[in-house]
Amino acid sequence: MMLDVKDLRVYFYTRNGVVHAVDGINFGIKKGETLGIVGESGCGKTTTGMAIMNMISRPGKIAGGSISIDGREISSLTETAMRKEIRWKKVSMVFQGAMNCLTPTYTVGKQMVETIVYHTRMEEEEALEIAKKYLAHVGLKEDVVRRYPHELSGGMKQRVVIATALLLEPELVICDEPTTALDVIVQAQIINLLKRLKKELNLSYIFITHDLSIEAEVADRLVVMYAGKIVELGTNEHIYGKEPMHPYTQKLLASTPRLREKVDELDFIPGTPPDLLNPPSGCRFHPRCPYAFDRCREEEPDLIEIEEGHRVACWRVR
């Protein structure tokens, strides 16, 4: 396993109490694999990504569990060591709303070169060549290095951000909603680009999105999260091929718009994700679950392997 996350817990210690944003999740990623993380807003997807970068901001904290990259435990590393050795070298990230991720007062080249020079002690000219190489990789012209972010279109900025993520040839790239703010044409281009780069550079991705149709396109395996917990984990085939096992996943798929099929009314899940300050007892999904029975309200289901590589946390599948 390239990345191994065991029993990860991220808590936010707010004035009103402790928010269990991520509560004991386990997953791993192999080299060259894409892991998709899906779920509603506020279910802990981004928090998981940020935890892997060890960038949980106050009042949040990694409260327990372990994250290891290539066998090296990182959750206990100091901030300085983290910045020097892990961030961008091993793991890089394409942030949610990548539009605002470029410093407006720096040229594209300057921010790329700065990153390379700091990590590798390379000469600036050499670093500039690398920056140009990766800009070419994502289909941008060399002269983009002299441009300021505000002079680029949304799609171009997104490409710059992706190129920046690849500069130091990391093993894992966390893509947090990389295409959400883009129109469908550019979205398709970016998805294809990410898939191509993965093949060329043998990257691993964590692909965080709430858009299941994109996930179907890119992910090898999927993690479905609900209220800070993993409710279902399986290969693309398990989730999309046949009927998924967890009622939440089923509902989530049913609420995705279909292209070739006219639906009278799109399905939706009644209610909202639970308040993580006071999560419901038992299974966290039971207040919104159409199949809930007594046991769901009382006991929390474990993530049980029901077939090779397919785990579900639901009492119904026992």
Residues that bind other proteins (CB under 8 A): 53, 55, 80, 82-84, 86-89, 92-93, 95, 97, 100-106, 111, 114-115, 118-119, 148, 150, 161, 164
- Per residue, what are the HEC states of the chain? CCEEEEEEEEEEEECCEEEEEEEEEEEEECCCCEEEEECCCCCCHHHHHHHHCCCCCCCEEEEEEEEEECCEECCCCCHHHHHHHHECCCEEEECCCHHHCCCCCCCHHHHHHHHHHHHHCCCHHHHHHHHHHHHHHCCCCHHHHHCCHHHCCHHHHHHHHHHHHHCCCCCEEEEECCCCCCCHHHHHHHHHHHHHHHHHHCCEEEEECCCHHHHHHHCCEEEEEECCEEEEEEEHHHHHHCCCCCHHHHHHHHCCCCCCCCCCCCCCCCCCCCCCCCCCCCCCCHHHCCCCCHHHHHCCCCCEEEECCEEECCHHHC
> Of 41 and 80, which CB lies nearer to other proteins in the complex structure?
80
Report the nearest approach of other proteins to the CB of residue 128 (Å).
Answer: 16
> Of 145 and 231, which CB lies nearer to other proteins in the complex structure?
145
> Of 101 and 222, which CB lies nearer to other proteins in the complex structure?
101
Question: What are the Cα distances from residue 134, in Å, to 112, 113, 159, 161?
Answer: 10, 12, 10, 11
Report the nearest approach of other proteins to the CB of residue 161 (Å).
Answer: 8
> Side by side, which strands form the sheet with 310-312?
91-94, 172-176, 204-208, 34-38, 221-226, 229-235, 310-312, 304-307
Report the nearest approach of other proteins to the CB of residue 106 (Å).
Answer: 7
Report the nearest approach of other proteins to the CB of residue 213 (Å).
Answer: 25
> Of 99 and 188, which CB lies nearer to other proteins in the complex structure?
99
> Of 84 and 316, which CB lies nearer to other proteins in the complex structure?
84
Report the nearest approach of other proteins to the CB of residue 273 (Å).
Answer: 24
> Of 84 and 295, which CB lies nearer to other proteins in the complex structure?
84
Report the nearest approach of other proteins to the CB of residue 308 (Å).
Answer: 35
CB atoms within 10 A of CB 89: 16
Report the nearest approach of other proteins to the CB of residue 316 (Å).
Answer: 40
Report the nearest approach of other proteins to the CB of residue 156 (Å).
Answer: 16
> Of 58 and 242, which CB lies nearer to other proteins in the complex structure?
58
> Of 182 and 245, which CB lies nearer to other proteins in the complex structure?
182
